[in-house]
Structure 1
Amino acid sequence: MSTDKHYQVALTLVPGVGSILIRQLVSYCGSATEVFRSPLARLMKIPGIGEVTARAILKSDVLTDAERILNRLEKMNASVLFYTDKAYPSRLKSLYDAPALLYVQGSGNLNTARTVALVGTRQATDYGRRITNEIIDVLTPYGATIISGLAYGIDISAHRASLVHGAPTIGVMASGLDIVYPNVHQKTAQEMLVQGGLLTESPPGTKPDAHLFPARNRIIAGLSDAIVVVEAAAKGGALITAEYANNYHREVFAVPGQLNQAFSAGCNKLIRENKAQIYTSPRDIIEALNWDITPSTSVLARDKAGSANTQITLPLDITEEESQIVALLRQSADLHIDDLSWKTQIPMGRLASLLLNLEFRGFVRSLPGKKYSIVYV
């Protein structure tokens, strides 16, 4: 086996080489394949690569391990997504600590127009499960994909409610795709493959060790436009997810609870410290994400982007950079300014000025959370 996928997987298996260094290597060498074909002397000249790492890259055992992993994925009807792939989640691409490679399984679209994560305690109450179901019931007609972590409590409630209401749902795992944790959620995970899917940054065979859960939580936050913490203790994974979400400039909501309830403490703390907006109804999410239009119309507009009746006519005096921005926004329901900067390679200061000009001229609109969308006329 000598495909680029083979080398991409192998690169993630090299000891001491993380996602940031992988991007550095690929940037200098041109592809994962060329990294392994580069001589030792060339690799050692790349910033951040010393002799030990360069020699580790050139060892043949990671290529053998990568081949074994790809064979195993084929039997599981699973695949890998490298950060340079078109299908790699666009919401993750611009994040400094995004995984260089994802293992995915199922039919879910990881670049769907609208995503919301629901997270919380593993010891969910009836109140928490009811709120979770209510949110998903209302958001489903808006075409929202529901993201969570397959854990006990709020996570599995979110996935199961999504299956009931017909909403796509993605489970982000802290293990390999072949190890569903907890095992009692195996049946739900299988059902999700038809109506969404599973993803992880860990290769098959990886057990759900404690240090992998915070890493999993950053992916949940990165994949989502908004995160709702339904119930949470004063410390725990849900609050870690909220922290990542704030760092990634995502909308964060927390469901308030009774003062004497242990699993309201985390939500109330987020609200008190201004790290989350107070959740009072699904309308809070819809309005914050600017989904406040007829659901069927919004989904239709997303699907028809690029067709004759949704194009905007641009004047002759529009600049090449402005045209590039408009073209990107035509392809998405909305984009964060960080994503626009990364995809256009326009410096942030200049990009902000261009967006302001396009907004004044009626071509784009600014949305909450530093996002922008096209204006169809």
Structure 2
Amino acid sequence: MSDQDLFYLLALMKVDGVGDIMAKKLLNHCGNAEAIFKSKTNQIAAIDGVGSVMLKNIKDKAIFEKANQELEFIRKNDIKISFFQDETYPDRLKHCIDSPVLIFTGGNIDLKNKKIISIVGTRQITSYGTEFCRKLIEDLAPLDPVIVSGFAYGVDIVAHQFAMDYKLQTIGVLAHGLNQVYPKAHKKYMAKMEENGGFITEFWSTSNPDKENFVRRNRIVAGISEATIVIESSDKGGSLITANLANDYNRDVFAVPGRVTDRYSQGCNDLIKTQKANLLTSAADLIYVLNWDIEKKPKAIQKQLFIDLEPDEQKIYDFLLKNGKELLDTIALECDFPVFKISGILLNMELKGVIRPLPGKLFEAI
């Protein structure tokens, strides 16, 4: 993007009263940001939602000085820009009506052809939530997903940390400009995150981490991913806002259940009870609902050498070795076993490391 194009886009986003939805209307009508400022008043006034106050604000020369200052900051710090019509803009986010017109990124982010999930929750994460998050990311690691969260205390930073531990790309969506770190205690994680992942924000260098910004950034967390996972939440909180946004965007939402007496399980239990979220007890639940193909990068299973199989197990193993992956019902039919019996046999074979289960009740020999 040229400096001139970016300059006028920045100026447009600084017009008082022009949000992302209205900016897209103006751009669609006029063709580009520069044309908006150079169009005659009556041409702009014809756009639905544009009134006299907005017309006056568009003509305010002060916005150009602000745009120029931000442009200098962007170029000086080599910040990457994605316009909502660019190929570099996150695909799923493009389909959200209120997605940011511009996003600023730092680090080494690659979202093309990636499985992307958002993990959110309380800032007061418990040991239960921490262990669940660790196990979930460990089990998903063979699928190489991108882990998105908000870089805040609690569930957010735990998700980022485990993603890095398991060598996964992770992205923090910020509620302020890229010239700041919030909370300051998380500065120590930034360099490692930027090595394989990084940060996304819609906010300028002049923006502070104000309360309302956290609510706004949640729509990026919800919109950028295929699914949003709520690990723990009280009956109120930002993670529930993110879950509701994900539902509005027609994304899958998952919630981890907890004891009814636990404060930080109330929000998750309510999401499940009101059918706003799928029940999440393990990575298998998410893989099944999202229909992810785990064959591309299966988790290594150590098969014992010279293992002795029972005659029934050997019969099933030979069948799978010859035919490849097969449905449980097909295995039962072709190997002449009742379904209730074959389930137990398959479990024993899985424990012995000679077969592996796949989504959709499929099995294959290793």
SS in 2 for 1:193: helix
Match of 1:143 in 2: 144
SS in 1 for 2:217: helix
Report if aligned partners of 2:143, 2:294 keep a CA contact under 8 Å in 1: no
Matches within 5 A, 1:92-241: 92-241=93-242
Q: Distance in 2 between matches of 1:263 and 1:183?
A: 25
SS in 2 for 1:156: helix
Report if aligned partners of 1:112, 1:145 keep a CA contact under 8 Å in 2: no
Report if aligned partners of 2:228, 2:251 keep a CA contact under 8 Å in 1: yes
Letter in 2 for 1:188: Y
Match of 1:247 in 2: 248
Alpha-carbon RMSD: 1.9
**Deviation string for 1:42-85 (max 9, x for gaps)?**
22222222233123223222222112112112233312222111
Match of 1:59 in 2: 60
Question: Shift in Å at residue 230 of structure 1?
Answer: 0.5
Q: Distance in 2 between matches of 1:66 and 1:90?
A: 27
**Deviation string for 1:272-292 (max 9, x for gaps)?**
111111111101111111113
Report if aligned partners of 1:83, 1:100 keep a CA contact under 8 Å in 2: yes
Q: Identify the range of structure 1 (63-72 vs 19-28) with the bigger mean alpha-carbon deviation.
A: 63-72
Report if aligned partners of 1:116, 1:146 keep a CA contact under 8 Å in 2: yes
Match of 1:28 in 2: 29
Letter in 2 for 1:275: K
Q: Distance in 2 between matches of 1:240 and 1:50?
A: 31
Q: Distance in 2 between matches of 1:288 and 1:73?
A: 40
Question: Shift in Å at residue 296 of structure 1?
Answer: 2.6
Letter in 1 for 2:122: T
Report if aligned partners of 1:146, 1:167 keep a CA contact under 8 Å in 2: yes
Letter in 2 for 1:113: K
Report if aligned partners of 1:78, 1:106 keep a CA contact under 8 Å in 2: no
**Deviation string for 1:172-218 (max 9, x for gaps)?**
11111122211111121232112111111111121111111121111
Q: Distance in 1 between matches of 2:87 and 2:61?
A: 28
Q: Distance in 1 between matches of 2:46 and 2:293?
A: 53
Match of 1:272 in 2: 273
Question: Shift in Å at residue 2 of structure 1?
Answer: 5.3
Report if aligned partners of 1:232, 1:238 keep a CA contact under 8 Å in 2: yes
- In the alignment, structure 2 segments of 5+ residues that lack a partner are 299-359, 361-366
Q: Identify the range of structure 1 (115-124 vs 180-189) with the bigger mean alpha-carbon deviation.
A: 180-189
Question: Shift in Å at residue 234 of structure 1?
Answer: 0.8
SS in 1 for 2:44: helix
SS in 1 for 2:195: coil
Letter in 1 for 2:51: G
Q: Percent identity?
A: 40
Report if aligned partners of 1:252, 1:275 keep a CA contact under 8 Å in 2: yes
Report if aligned partners of 1:140, 1:165 keep a CA contact under 8 Å in 2: yes
**Deviation string for 1:214-255 (max 9, x for gaps)?**
211111010111111111111101111111111111111111
Letter in 1 for 2:6: K
- In the alignment, structure 1 segments of 5+ residues that lack a partner are 298-367, 369-377
Q: Distance in 1 between matches of 2:184 and 2:113?
A: 28
Match of 1:307 in 2: none
Question: Shift in Å at residue 111 of structure 1?
Answer: 3.9
Rg: which structure is higher?
2
Q: Distance in 2 between matches of 1:96 and 1:229?
A: 23
Question: Shift in Å at residue 112 of structure 1?
Answer: 4.2
Match of 2:12 in 1: 11
**Deviation string for 1:143-199 (max 9, x for gaps)?**
210000001000000111111111111111111112221111112123211211111
Number of equivalent positions: 299
Instruction: Pick closer, same or farther for the CA change 1:190–1:58 going to 2, 3 Å.
Output: farther
